[in-house]
Structure 1
Amino acid sequence: MRIQNLLKILLFCFLLVSVVGADEEEKRVNAIALARPSVVSIRTYKKSSSEPGIGSGVIIRSNGVILTNFHVIKNADVIKVTTVDEKAFTAQILHLAPQHDLALLKVNGTGFKAARIGSSERVKLGQTAIAIGDPLGFTSSVTIGTVGGTGRTVKMKGIDYQSLIQTDAAINPGSSGGALIDLDGKVIGINTLVYTGPKNWKRAQGLGFAISIDHAMMVTKALMQRIPEKVTSTPWLGIKGTTVTRDLSESYGLGTKRGVLIRSVVPASPAEAAGLRSGDVLVRADGDLITGLPDLGEMMSARSAGDVVQFEVQRDKKTRTVEVKLDVSSR
C-alpha cells in the first residue's frame, strides 16, 4: 500500500514538473514571437573597409525610430537596416550619445512594430533573460540565459558603462544593439558588450552585459528633446566626382570633353547598387546634358529619394545607359 502511494506521489511530481516545464517553454516561445519583429539587423559600410560591420537595433517607435549602440554605427558612411520580414531600408542618424554608447536611427515609413518596453528596475536575479540579435551575422538569432547581476558598472574602451544587466545569455559580435527581453516579451536591456576582464588578468570566459532599458530610455528621452543630427529627404547618389575638362579628358583618354568623372563610389550606395564605378563619366541624366558638377547638383535637387534616374555613362570610350534608384544618405 505504501509503495503504491509512493508511486502515485512520484507520478504526480513528475507530471507537475512536466506541466511547469511546458508552461515555461510556452512562455519563452510567446515572448520571442512578440519581440522578434521589433529587432532589426544593421549593416554598416565604410569607404575604408570592404567588409560590412554587423549589429542589431530595436524599433522603439512605429514611425521608424531605432535604438542601438553608438559603437555599432560609429564612423559608418552608409547604414542599412533590415526588418525581420526582410524589408531593407537606409537608416539616417537621428541622435548620438557616444558617452552612453547609444544612438538613435530613423528609417522612412510607418507601421513598424515598436518594442514593448519593460522596466529594468523590476528585474530580479535568476530570472530568464532572452537575447535577440545578429551574432556573427546570423540574423534574428535567439539565446536564452538568466540574469546574473544588475546595476553593474564596467569601464571599457573609454566608456564608463552604468546600470548594466549581467547575463549568461550568449552575446557575441553582431548582438550589440539588440534586445534583452523577459518572459513577457518586454525589453529590459540593450545588448552591448562581452567583458573578459582587465588586460593584466588571465582572460576570462566572457560575461555578457546589456544597458538597462530604464537607463537607455532616460537617455533616449533627453536626446529626443534636442534638434536631430541630420534627417533629410534630399536624394543621394553616393559618388565623389570631378567636372571633366579638356585637359582632364585628354590626360585620361575619357572619350568625352564634358560630364562628371566618378573618382570613387561609396559602398552600398545607390551608385554601387546600379553598377557605376570609378572611372565612369556621367554624360546625361534623363536625357539632359551634364556638363559638370553644377549640372549634376541641379539635377539631384529636382529629384526625390526613390526616384529612378537614367544616366548616360561613358565607360572605356563606349556609351551605356545605367538606371539608378536614388536614396537618402545615412549622414
Structure 2
Amino acid sequence: MRVISAPVVPRLAAAILVLVGIQLGVLGARPAQAADPEQLDPDRVVRSVVGISAVVPPDSQSARTLGTDREGSGVVIDGSGLILTIGYTVMEASQIEVTAADGRSYPASMVAYDPVSGFGLLRAEMGFTAPWLRLATADAVKEGDTLLALSGGDNRSATAVKLVSKREFAGYWEYLLDEALFTFPPIRAFNGAALVNREGRLVGIGSLLVMEAVEGRGLPGNMFVPVSALEPILADLLAYGRRQEPARPWLGVTLREELGRLMVEKVSPRSPAESAGLRPGDWIVGVGGQRFSGLADFYRKLWGLGPAGVVVPLEVMRGATLTPVPVTSADRVRFLRLNPTL
C-alpha cells in the first residue's frame, strides 16, 4: 500500500485557502460575510481527489501507445464511491486501485468508458469513503477565471491556474471536443486531475499537456474536458456502461494535419484502416466526395456519413497518385478489451 503522510491533507487545505484568497482578489469577489452561500471547502476538495493506478494486459490495443502501468487522478462525484477520471488512464485495465487522501488504497472496478468525451467512470470498493464534489454547469467559468487544479496519489498537489481559452479541440486519435478548457501554468500530473471553481464545484477533468494553451501563441498549458459533457450521458453510462446512441464510425488511424491535408502516421493493428490497406505516409485529401479544411472538419464529415459500419470513401494521395480507398468503419469500443478479466 502506498501511504501518503497524514499532514499532507491539512497542508494542502491550508494552501488552498491561500490560493482562494489570491483567486478572490483576482476576481474582485465580495468580502466573505457577503459572499455567495455556496463556498469552497478546502478540506472537502482535497479529500475528494484520489490517486489511480491501473494495470493493463500487454496484449491490449492501448498498451502499445499508453503502456501497461498507468498512474493518474480521479474525482469522487457521488456518495457511493463513483469516481470520474480521464478514460485513457483506466481503459482496458485488468486491475484498478484508488488511493484516498489519507493514503489508504482500495480496489476499484470500471463502470463505463466513453470514447466521445474521453471520460471514464470507476467505483471504489471495500469500504471506500470520501467527500464528493458537485459538477459545474457549462457556463460556470469564463476565460480569465482563476481556478484550482488538483492531483491525487503520489503527486498530490493543488495549483492555482488561469483559464486562458475555451475552444474546439481536435485530437489526432479520431477525437473532437466542441469546447475544451485550456489552463496556464501547466501542471505535470494532469491526467484525471480536478479543475475546481471558487464554489468548490468540479469544472473539468485533466486530459493533456499542450504546447499552445492560447491558440497561435507558444504558451504551454493543460487541456481539461469540461464536466458539462457528462450530465447528458451519465444515466446511460451508469445503466449500460456506454452512451445509448449509434456509435460513430471509427477508422483506426493516427493523423497529422499539415496545411489542411492529413497524413496517416499510424494504423492500428486489426483496425478497419488496416483491413482497407491504408498505410503510414498516405495523405487523406477527401472523404465522401468532399474536401475538408482540417482535422475537425474531416471528423465532422466522416461522422456525418452515418453510424459505425458505414463504408467511408476516402481519397488518398500516394506519391503523385490519387487513390480511392473505401474503408468499412467500425465501433471503436468493440476493438477494446473493456472487460479484460473475462
TM range (shorter): 0.5 to 0.7
The answer (yes or no) to whether the contact 2:72–2:192 under 8 Å persists in 1 is yes
Given the alignment, which residue of 138, 142, 165 partners 2:158?
142
For residue 232 of structure 2, what is the aligned residue in structure 1?
218
The answer (yes or no) to whether the contact 1:35–1:115 under 8 Å persists in 2 is yes
* Distance of 1:145 and 1:95 partners within structure 2: 29
Alpha-carbon distance, 1:117 to partner: 2.0
Alpha-carbon distance, 1:51 to partner: 7.3
Alpha-carbon distance, 1:214 to partner: 0.8
* Distance of 1:68 and 1:22 partners within structure 2: 25
The root-mean-square deviation of aligned C-alpha atoms, in Å, is: 3.4
* Distance of 1:226 and 1:161 partners within structure 2: 23
Identify unmatched segments of 5+ residues in structure 2: 1-20, 33-38, 244-339
Residues 272-291 of structure 1: pairs in structure 2 closer than 5 A: none
For residue 8 of structure 2, what is the aligned residue in structure 1?
none
Q: What CA deviation, in whole Å up to 9, does each residue of 1:20-49 have, x standing for no partner? A: 85964999x955433111111001123449
For residue 186 of structure 1, what is the aligned residue in structure 2?
201
Identify unmatched segments of 5+ residues in structure 1: 1-19, 230-328
The answer (yes or no) to whether the contact 1:150–1:165 under 8 Å persists in 2 is yes
* Distance of 2:172 and 2:42 partners within structure 1: 30
For residue 173 of structure 2, what is the aligned residue in structure 1?
157
Residues 80-229 of structure 1: pairs in structure 2 closer than 5 A: 80-108=97-125, 109=127, 111-134=129-152, 138-172=154-188, 174-196=189-211, 204-226=218-240
Change in Cα spacing, 1:87 to 1:163, as seen in structure 2 (3 Å) is same
* Distance of 2:52 and 2:134 partners within structure 1: 20
The answer (yes or no) to whether the contact 1:61–1:112 under 8 Å persists in 2 is no
Q: What's the % identity of the aligned pairs?
A: 21
For residue 248 of structure 1, what is the aligned residue in structure 2?
none
Alpha-carbon distance, 1:205 to partner: 4.5
The answer (yes or no) to whether the contact 2:23–2:147 under 8 Å persists in 1 is no
Change in Cα spacing, 1:112 to 1:33, as seen in structure 2 (3 Å) is closer
Change in Cα spacing, 1:142 to 1:22, as seen in structure 2 (3 Å) is closer
Alpha-carbon distance, 1:93 to partner: 0.7
* TM-score normalised to structure 2 length: 0.52
Alpha-carbon distance, 1:118 to partner: 1.9
* Distance of 2:198 and 2:91 partners within structure 1: 32
For residue 78 of structure 1, what is the aligned residue in structure 2?
95
Alpha-carbon distance, 1:79 to partner: 0.9
Larger radius of gyration: 1
The answer (yes or no) to whether the contact 2:163–2:182 under 8 Å persists in 1 is yes
The answer (yes or no) to whether the contact 2:137–2:203 under 8 Å persists in 1 is yes
Residues 37-56 of structure 1: pairs in structure 2 closer than 5 A: 37-48=47-58, 52-56=69-73
Q: What code does the residue aligned with 1:177 have? A: G
**SS in structure 1 opposite 2:192?**
coil
**SS in structure 2 opposite 1:122?**
coil
Change in Cα spacing, 1:122 to 1:330, as seen in structure 2 (3 Å) is farther
Q: What code does the residue aligned with 1:102 have? A: F
* Distance of 2:233 and 2:167 partners within structure 1: 16
Change in Cα spacing, 1:56 to 1:330, as seen in structure 2 (3 Å) is farther
* Distance of 1:88 and 1:225 partners within structure 2: 26
Q: What CA deviation, in whole Å up to 9, does each residue of 1:5-32 have, x standing for no partner? A: xxxxxxxxxxxxxxx85964999x9554
For residue 36 of structure 1, what is the aligned residue in structure 2?
46
* TM-score normalised to structure 1 length: 0.54
* Distance of 1:70 and 1:39 partners within structure 2: 16
Alpha-carbon distance, 1:209 to partner: 1.2
The answer (yes or no) to whether the contact 1:36–1:84 under 8 Å persists in 2 is yes
User: Which one has the bigger helix percentage?
Assistant: 1
For residue 65 of structure 1, what is the aligned residue in structure 2?
82
Change in Cα spacing, 1:330 to 1:86, as seen in structure 2 (3 Å) is farther
* Distance of 1:209 and 1:216 partners within structure 2: 16
Q: What code does the residue aligned with 1:180 have? A: L
Alpha-carbon distance, 1:75 to partner: 2.7
- How many pairs align? 206
The answer (yes or no) to whether the contact 2:140–2:203 under 8 Å persists in 1 is no
